[in-house]
Amino acid sequence: MLHRRSLLSITAGIAGTAALGGARADAAIDRAVAFVKQTGDALVGVINGPGDNAQKRVALAQIMDRTVDVPYVAEFALGRFWRVATPEQRQRYMETFHQVLVNNISAKLGEYEGVRFTVNRAVPGQGGVQVDTTVLRPNQPPTNVGWVIANPTTNPKIVDVIAEGTSLRLTQRNDYGSFLTHNSDSIDALISAMQRQVAQNARNGS
């Protein structure tokens, strides 16, 4: 079945900044760090701020839509099956993927109250600039999270998340690929499974 953790999967095949030199590379790194700091502050502000979970869910979805390249994430996650999907399947898949992503990012809000984060180093890489952070929750060990930012100097977007050394974009793609392999390569079966997951999360109050 689909890994819940991997639903935060974020991806890119966008050329990174490794080939950039000198001032351009420095500017890309600075912009990526500023983008992650701004995005992180916005997320923390919603999670720790006033309002009920429904209001926070809406606010978190708005932040996600501004900062994550959701269409590209969804297409990458489907892998080679994107090319064979019909236009109707692609539309249903995109809509459902968005719901899954919103559910994942807003799941268990109560467990994250009091969250803080610190920005550590940032380095250019093949998929963009990776900004390493440490996420701190009350009564929980620190979590190392890297955010890969594509096009940081022009149109920055989060395109991957590296959680404790694991690329969630690759986990997501492998997860969907495995599901499809075991279900006769049926894209409709994958969409149905995703929709059931969304419905289950809604019943559980996620």
pLDDT per position as a tens digit, 63-80: 999 999 999 889 999 999
Q: What is the 3-state secondary structure (H, E, C) of the chain?
A: CCCCHHHHCCCCCCCCCCCCCHHHHHHHHHHHHHHHHHHHHHHHHHHHCCCCHHHHHHHHHHHHHHHECHHHHHHHHHCCHHHHCCHHHHHHHHHHHHHHHHHHHCCCHHHHCCCEEEEEEEEEECCEEEEEEEEECCCCCCEEEEEEEECCCCCCEEEEEEECCEEHHHHHHHHHHHHHHCCCCCHHHHHHHHHHHHHHHHHCCC
pLDDT band at 6 (very low <50, low <70, confident <90, very high): very low
> Do residues 155 and 12 make contact, with C-beta atoms less than 8 angstroms apart?
no
**Amino acid 164: pLDDT:** 87
**Residues pairing with 116 in the sheet:** 136
Whether residue 90 has pLDDT greater than 80 = yes
Question: Is 189's pLDDT higher than 60?
Answer: yes
CB neighbours of residue 168 within 10 Å: 22
Rounded to the nearest angstrom, the gap between the alpha carbon of residue 11 and the centroid of all alpha carbons in its chain is: 8
**Site of tokens 């060990």:** 141
User: Which pLDDT value is given to residue 22?
Assistant: 58
Closest CA to 183 of 73, 112, 81: 81
Residue ranges covered by each domain of the chain: 5-203
CATH of domain 5-203: 3.10.450.710
- Mean pLDDT, to the nearest integer, of 130-151? 94
Residues 21-76 have pLDDT tens digits of 556 678 899 999 999 999 999 999 999 999 998 899 999 999 999 999 999 889 99
pLDDT bin (cut points 50, 70, 90) of residue 205 is: low
Determine the pLDDT at residue 16. 41
pLDDT of residue 8: 39
